[in-house]
Structure 1
Amino acid sequence: MERLIIKKLEKWKNSPYRKPLILKGVRQVGKTWILKEFGRRYYDNVAYFNFDENEEYKQFFETTKDVNRILKNLMLVSGQKILPEKTLIIFDEVQDCPNVINSMKYFCENAPQYHVACAGSLLGITLAKPSSFPVGKVNFMQIDPMTFTEFLMANGDENLVAYLDQIDELEPIPDAFFNPLYEKLKMYYVVGGMPESVLMWTQERDVEAMQEVLSNILDAYERDFAKHPNISEFPKISMIWKSIPSQLARENKKFIYKVVKEGARAREYENALQWLVDARLVHKVYRSTAPKLPIAAYDDVSAFKIYLVDVGLLRRLSRLAPTAFGEGNRLFVEFKGALTENYVLQTLVTQFEVTPRYWNQLNPPYEVNFLIQRENDIFPIEVKSETNTTSKSIKKYKELYPNETKLRIRFSLDNLKLDGDMLNIPLFMADQTDKLIGIALQQLNKERRTH
């Protein structure tokens, strides 16, 4: 399966400022596979060391900080040869190996000729701890579940991907492309972007096997919760996790601790929730009080929404049957469009550096699903799960912030069009958001100049 992160890895390999790489990503998102595949394609050989399977390897990092000695020991014990520039060294499952992570400092300073990449599933948790971490001595990269574009490629729909790639004008998508893309998006909602789940669907077309894969991944995450150093947090993490579908099924999707457990207080559950955020199993989207920069300065930290790392896992966790496949728009509307919102957030997170926010006001109630920062502009985004797209909230937002609103964006099942300053993006084009905003802004600037 083709993963677009390989281009970033190639850039890392060729950079004159390359440092040891730390690849972060949740369990089963394809970290090991992509590093091995990258090594296979771009290096003479790969030296792979897994610290979960071979705990004794950790000792080589405990007794010395001398990189050459560490490498010599690893070569002798594994029988793998390690050559500067020509070998990709992969250290896998390093989340419980502070000495290995710390040694990256010495690789960076004393042996930059070696290409080293580390991976681990709960690295976000490890890195959130203030241990002797090699600050400034590593490059970070994040691998997320497969995007809809990657899903299409895995499904053999390169023609659809090529069509979307070449779009450079905001014109309606012809039915010959619109209809199949819409159908495939329904499949993506059901399957999600976890590589093994995608494999079961695209290679085997086996719905039961795909369901089982998703169940197994959810079980593996539950087992990971138990790894929390404070054992009393484990049931809390589990309860928050299981409450996410019901949090998102509410009309107002703001996270409410009482949904986790009757009478639950924020201070009892904050740490458990933070653990899930650090593990990047969930995305936390704060309410913004105003669309101004820096965006974080206007966060209302008491109000936020929680989304899952992957739309397929959300569907499985919600016990939604895959049969929703065949039922028209039902899949998009199911539990108040939560799958759609989760899907849109997932793709925005991969395209924009700053985590999206949302905006609302209570009396009378208005809500804009997401605010994104692109360069030095903030754009309001509304997510509609159908074709019925009248919307008071995004109109109200523009009335309140006319100068800050260069362009408004709506995701829906309507066709691609720019209507005044409202850009409608069909849901299956969400991966192209950044590019489409660029085209829309150019068009608006052109129109302003001619008037």
Structure 2
Amino acid sequence: MTYLKRKADAFLEEWKGNPNRLPLIIKGPRQVGKTESIRRFAKGHYESVIEINFVEEPKYRMITSDGYAADAIIRNISLIDPSKRFIPGRTLLFFDEMQEFPDIATALKFLKIDGRFDVICSGSMLGIGYTRIESNSVGYKTDYEMRSLDFEEFLWARGYGDDITGDMLDHLIDARPFSDAQMQVFTTLFLDYCTLGGMPAVVSSYIVKGTFEGTLQMQRQLVLDYQEDIRKYAQGLDQARILNVFNHIPVQLAKENKKFQISKVARGARFKDYRGCVEWLETSGMVNICYCLAYPELPLKGNYDENRFKLYFGDTGLFVSMLDDEASEDFRANRNLGVYKGALYESIVGEALKKQGYDLYYYKRENSTLEQDFFIRTRNHLVPVEVKAKNGTAKSLRTLVTSDSYPDINFGIKFSAGNIGGSNHIFTAPYFTAFLLRRLIRAYDDGRAPLLNNPDQ
């Protein structure tokens, strides 16, 4: 499989360059490329790489049987496989699939204190595994969360360099519309990305073949693998409930009111019985939760109703693959999603926000049509973000930015199929630029985004 350049590559280089580096845990959903990125990095930086996969080689779960001291662990690894070489200062210990053996996290403290070897762990963090890991290694680890490819990484896979994304950002900062040629090329690439999602195996197949041949089957197999993980790692009766929630996400996103309703999941389903199921799916990285704000004001954290939320897939390509056959085929052939169109664009923008490190929040005023898709913040302001499937008016967004009832809001951002522009406190940008939002907001905070800094234009 062709290696795809990832943002994790730069993080790994930065980690290696830190003389005080701690053991690193790279966590994230299964099959997003964690192992491949670590192997590629390790090959270029270490004379010896000790890779242990706790799924494929369960015998290594015995390496802490004599305690967690570095010498005891190294002795037991050597006992199992005498060919492994431990060269001080030039060896990486790579523990993969650590969700199968969370106990290894307790050893990180002792391996760091010992100091002879670098340590990287990775795992899917399914179920309760990471909770145990968190408590076992406080202060002696660095965490990095890895997800499927974002649109920028997809552009890299297609052969585009950093100059292209830099130019896109300049267009946003300067509020300078794209040319017709740019709009056509980037929109086509973006729709390809929506179709494929960002799972590395799917994108690699598309890059190598130059067509979508076989990608739908690959996506559906990934969904089956996720469902199998639920059966494997979820405990007791929660398995059926978690599967019900997971399988109902596409249906509920298709509705005008996209709030996830537990009562629709199964006959007689009650929220209190399903509370942990949603959090389990989020912890695994399979879904993104978007909570309803109690009121659109700062601060965001703690200002939401944990019982009201929307659910999006962590990878929109998997969402498309889970649609009924007619809708999925129509989108692949004709770029038409019918009733799912609004859900697709909302999901892809939510995914882009999450991959930039944002938590997801929306707002729906009770007994009113006022509803806002997402919210982010600048240094001093709350920013409502609207996602429009068509180039129509955004009544709720306009109300939020003009009403005196929302003093924390100074301007809003609308993503649509249209070009860059803005008026009356609303900045408009194409869907394909959503991955640049955090960088645009940073430019705004630094006084480098004229249209955002002058919302009356």
Change (3 A) 1:132 1:369: closer
* 2:10 corresponds to which of 1, 7, 12: 7
Distance, in Å, in 2 between the alignment partners of 1:249 and 1:123 is 27
Write the mapping of 1:392-407 to structure 2, written as runs, cut at 5 A: 392-398=395-401, 399-407=403-411
Contact 1:125/1:279 (8 A) holds in 2: no
What is the deviation of 1:190? 0.8
Contact 1:418/1:440 (8 A) holds in 2: no
What is the deviation of 1:334? 4.5
Contact 1:169/1:439 (8 A) holds in 2: no
Change (3 A) 1:102 1:31: same
What is the deviation of 1:277? 1.6
* 1:436 corresponds to which of 421, 440, 454: 440
* 1:287 corresponds to which of 282, 289, 292: 292
Give the aligned partner of residue 63 of structure 1: 66
Tell me the secondary structure at the aligned position of residue 193 of structure 1.
coil
Change (3 A) 1:409 1:119: same
Contact 1:147/1:347 (8 A) holds in 2: yes
Query: Does residue 260 of the first structure (1) align with residue 265 of the second (2)?
Result: yes
Contact 2:64/2:72 (8 A) holds in 1: no
Distance, in Å, in 2 between the alignment partners of 1:8 and 1:401 is 42
Contact 1:288/1:298 (8 A) holds in 2: yes
Change (3 A) 1:401 1:35: farther
Give the aligned partner of residue 114 of structure 1: 117
* 1:324 corresponds to which of 331, 350, 355: 331
Give the aligned partner of residue 148 of structure 2: 145
Change (3 A) 1:86 1:361: same
Distance, in Å, in 2 between the alignment partners of 1:446 and 1:361 is 26
Distance, in Å, in 1 between the alignment partners of 2:352 and 2:115 is 34
Residue 383 of structure 1 aligns to which amino acid in structure 2? V
Distance, in Å, in 2 between the alignment partners of 1:32 and 1:151 is 19
What is the deviation of 1:301? 1.5
What is the deviation of 1:113? 4.2
Change (3 A) 1:370 1:446: closer
What is the deviation of 1:380? 0.7
Contact 1:149/1:431 (8 A) holds in 2: yes
- Please give the TM-score of this superposition, normalised by the length of structure 2: 0.90
Give the aligned partner of residue 390 of structure 1: 393
Q: Any unmatched runs of 5+ in structure 1?
A: none
Give the aligned partner of residue 93 of structure 1: 97
Query: Does residue 54 of the first structure (1) align with residue 43 of the second (2)?
Result: no
Contact 2:25/2:122 (8 A) holds in 1: yes
Contact 1:197/1:210 (8 A) holds in 2: yes
* 2:130 corresponds to which of 127, 132, 136: 127
What is the deviation of 1:192? 0.4
1:186-209 CA-to-partner distances (Å, cap 9, x unmatched) read 111110000001111111134342
Give the aligned partner of residue 368 of structure 1: 372
Change (3 A) 1:112 1:422: farther
What is the deviation of 1:342? 0.9
Distance, in Å, in 1 between the alignment partners of 2:277 and 2:205 is 32
Residue 294 of structure 1 aligns to which amino acid in structure 2? P
Give the aligned partner of residue 33 of structure 1: 36
Contact 1:20/1:139 (8 A) holds in 2: yes
Give the aligned partner of residue 363 of structure 2: 359
Distance, in Å, in 2 between the alignment partners of 1:445 and 1:172 is 12
- Please give the TM-score of this superposition, normalised by the length of structure 1: 0.92
1:124-169 CA-to-partner distances (Å, cap 9, x unmatched) read 6312358852112211100011001111211224474464355452
Contact 1:254/1:305 (8 A) holds in 2: yes
Contact 1:19/1:112 (8 A) holds in 2: no
Give the aligned partner of residue 226 of structure 1: 231
Change (3 A) 1:405 1:132: closer
Bigger drift between 179-188 and 113-122 goes to 113-122
Write the mapping of 1:119-198 to structure 2, written as runs, cut at 5 A: 119-123=122-126, 125-129=128-132, 132-158=135-161, 160-161=164-165, 163-164=167-168, 167=171, 168-198=173-203
Bigger drift between 257-266 and 159-168 goes to 159-168
Bigger drift between 45-54 and 289-298 goes to 289-298
Distance, in Å, in 1 between the alignment partners of 2:13 and 2:127 is 23
Change (3 A) 1:14 1:247: same
Residue 361 of structure 1 aligns to which amino acid in structure 2? R
Tell me the secondary structure at the aligned position of residue 226 of structure 1.
helix
Distance, in Å, in 2 between the alignment partners of 1:256 and 1:193 is 28
Give the aligned partner of residue 305 of structure 2: 300
What is the deviation of 1:259? 1.9
Give the aligned partner of residue 212 of structure 1: 217
The count of corresponding residues between Structure 1 and Structure 2 is 446
